[in-house]
Structure 1
Amino acid sequence: MKFINPKTDYAFKKIFSSDDSQDILISFLNAIVYQGQPVIASLEIIDPYAPGRISALKNTYFDVKAKLNNGQNVLIEMQAFNVPAFTKRIAYNTAKAYANQLKIGEEYLEVRPLISLAVMDFTLFEVSQTVISQFIFKEKHQLFDYPEYPFELVFVELPKFKKTLEELESITDKWLYFLRKAPDLEIVPQKMAIVPEIDKAFAIANRINLSVEELEDLEKREQFVREQKGSIEFSREEGREEGREEGREEGRAEGIQTGQLTLVQRLLRRRFGEITDEILNRLEQLSSDDLMALGDAIFDFSSLADLVAWLETK
């Protein structure tokens, strides 16, 4: 058997938000957010995964959305590589989703708490070796909770999870191991298979169960992730050098964005040949987030007219 890599957003959405993934997502969220306690009894997956929609995966930056049995919303993002202002983006989009719960004329009592979960294939918090970090509203000095507990930010740093198969103990350990090691396995380990939801996740992740269309979309996404990672790392090194020379943080962010622009230009030339100066100039005006979104969308463009139409929305 060969399993798809859940550390790509396309595969993550396939596994955790398919029509039959409710029990998988419940087990995963209870393990990651509630330390294995059965706090979540049921949920509704919003905008479930459907084949042929790869271009829509990053429209809102969240790969999986669900509403819990208590009315609370959960937003989950799988992020394969670090990008400039990532933590600001998470906080901004979470706050926006929290605020957007109310329709015109509704009372504040209708607002429900929200959980934003970011699963990352990179290290974000160098000051800690903890795999799962949870941030909530507390009083700054006495550390008591804010009364309404509006939203919680949960970060999972997969590179920090070092346990081997033999060392797995909790349900949390097993889900983290699944995320890190699934594509390296050829069989479902018995220690994992005894958890029905994880066994089912492996079944969904089995490449043999994917359609030709799904495999093609997955390969496109994996190719983009590989190239984006390489481009960002190269640009990060250039940015560090620029930052050292100029003594400012902006040098690093600018280096990363330059690498993203170079990657997008290369992908477009590979797909459509030479690009006009007008289009190149418009690409240079895009933000880092827009460049990442365009990198996703390129694989669905059939002509340069599709690219121009996409740019008109920015």
Structure 2
Amino acid sequence: MPMPDIPDIIHLNRLNDVFFKALLGSEERKTLTLNFINAILNREGSNAFTSVTFSDKEIVPPQIDGKRSFLDVLVEMGDGTRVHVEVQVLLDEYMVNRSLYYWGRIYSRELEKGDLYADLRPVITINLLDFNQFPQYQTYANTYHIMNDDTHDILTNHLEMHFIELKKIHISDIKKLKRSERWIAYF
């Protein structure tokens, strides 16, 4: 009796949109999503997020001829922080602009008429890139905030952007990797 065809998981593209959304964007795997986000953001102990709720990933434009966007993964953490995880396989020279646009749309849709600005919650973006967005840097993970040019004091924790360039990571001993690095190595 012949063996059934088994997909070749050696060649499985973990950055494939369908696979990625099934892995980290589904209610059935919310524990994995929470683990991934806490690992990438280096949150542990009392600082770790403990719950996650999946949000609508479609960004509808405010006007009829506006740009419509579909996000890969958008979740709301237990404290109200929203985390957007985006995977980009093809080189996009405007990836920073795109990420900032998504961040702005997510942030701006939090308030409704009569809400207070104090009700706004942080939005964190995590961009997994299968190309080198920042060739001038040796590091594979770069994080950005709004800060004072002179003192480097962070103005607000409401904007945090992570860009992870997968092409730059080199793994020598998986046993020595941090939790975030193990996730990145997986992809």
TM-score, normalised relative to structure 2: 0.81
Q: Which has more radius of gyration?
A: 1
2:183 paired with 1:175: yes
CA deviation after TM superposition for structure 1 residue 64, in Å: 0.3
**Of the candidates 88, 92, 113, which is equivalent to residue 104 of structure 1?**
113
Q: Give the structure, 1 or 2, with the largest relative contact order (CA under 8 Å, sep 6 or more).
A: 1
- Secondary structure of the residue aligned to 2:84 is strand
| 1:36-55 equivalence runs, <5 A | 37-38=44-45, 39-47=48-56
Percentage of pairs with the same residue:
22
2:178 paired with 1:162: no
**Of the candidates 64, 78, 86, which is equivalent to residue 77 of structure 1?**
86
Give the total of aligned pairs: 167
Distance in 2 between residues matched to 1:175 and 1:64, nearest whole Å? 16
Q: Match for 2:159: what amino acid?
A: F
Gaps of 5+ in 2: 1-5, 58-67
**Of the candidates 10, 23, 37, which is equivalent to residue 31 of structure 2?**
23
Q: Match for 1:173: what amino acid?
A: E
**CA contact under 8 A between 2:174 and 2:182: conserved in structure 1?**
no
Gaps of 5+ in 1: 49-58, 180-314
2:18 paired with 1:10: yes
- Secondary structure of the residue aligned to 2:69 is coil
CA deviation after TM superposition for structure 1 residue 166, in Å: 4.3
Tell me the equivalent position of 1:300.
none
2:130 paired with 1:121: yes
Change (3 A) 1:111 1:129: same
Distance in 2 between residues matched to 1:69 and 1:7, nearest whole Å? 27
Tell me the equivalent position of 2:60.
none
**CA contact under 8 A between 1:65 and 1:75: conserved in structure 2?**
yes
4+ residue runs of structure 1 moved beyond 3 angstroms?
A: 1-4, 164-168
Structure 1 or 2: more helix by fraction: 1
CA deviation after TM superposition for structure 1 residue 19, in Å: 2.1
TM-score, normalised relative to structure 1: 0.50
CA deviation after TM superposition for structure 1 residue 72, in Å: 0.5
Structure 1 or 2: more strand by fraction: 2
